[in-house]
Amino acid sequence: MTPFPIETPRLLLVPAQAVHLQAALVGREELERYIGFAVHPQWTEFGTDPLAFALERLRASEQDAGWWTWFPVLKTEERIIGTCGYKGLPNEASQVEIGYEIAPPYRGQGLATECARGLVERVRQMEVISGVLAHTLAAENASVAILRKLGFTKTGELNDPDDGLVWSWLIDLER
């Protein structure tokens, strides 16, 4: 079952279905045709690998719907301006990891914060989720500021095979 979109003051976070991810792998215009929103030309800097991985996971298990890619739509423009979502089902500790990106022309307006807050608030309502994880590059940057603003705490560092040293973050949702 596909989850409902998440609505924030300026964004509508639309859960990607397999057909959307498949269209996105063909190209931006194909995604526009299937999802019904315009898509900003700079909507993703991460490329198609994460979309292909999410598509593979959704095809393997329909129960994974809602635990992968979401598309942030700027309501005033009816345009997808990035990607966001969860990096899979909850782990053994009942925590989920979030990720987000906003197209460069839309940065510095609080939209990434609004996007991340929407993802956190969605799982805050789920009693089975105990916390939300995130990872950032190991430097003071906009993502670090966003996570701190939302109440995340830096919990450590780890070596990522692709990104090198990254910082780990957690917001505890224990009730």
63-111 per-position pLDDT tens digit: 899 999 999 999 999 999 999 999 999 999 999 999 999 999 999 999 9
Tokens of 60: 């393997």
Q: How confident is the model at residue 162 (pLDDT cuts 50, 70, 90)?
A: confident
Q: What is d(CA 46, CA 78) in angstroms, rounded to the nearest whole number? A: 22
Cβ pair 144, 152 in contact under 8 A: no
Please give the Cα distance from 126 to 173 (Å, whole number). 10
153 by Cβ neighbours in 10 Å (0-12 / 13-18 / 19+) ranks as: exposed
Average pLDDT of the chain is: 95
pLDDT at 1: 60
What percentage of the chain exceeds 90 in pLDDT? 93
More confident site: 84 or 1: 84
Q: What domains lie within the chain, and their CATH numbers?
A: 6-172 (3.40.630.30)
Q: Evaluate if residue 161 carries a pLDDT over 80.
A: yes
Could you tell me the pLDDT band of residue 174, with boundaries at 50, 70 and 90? confident
In this prediction, residue 40 carries a pLDDT of 98
DSSP bridge pairs for 131: 95, 172
Q: Are 135 and 97 in contact (CB under 8 A)?
A: yes
pLDDT tens digits, one per residue of 26-64: 999 999 999 999 999 999 999 999 999 999 999 999 889
Band of pLDDT at residue 175, cut at 50, 70 and 90: low
Rounded Cα–Cα distance for residues 98 and 7 (Å) = 17
Contact 101, 62 (CB under 8 A): no
Amino acid, res. 101: E
* pLDDT attached to residue 136: 96
Neighbouring-strand partners of residue 8: none
Contacts of 55 by beta carbon, 8 Å cutoff, 6+ apart: 18, 21, 22, 25
Residue 25 above 60 pLDDT? yes
HSE toward the beta carbon, residue 28, CA cutoff 13 A: 14
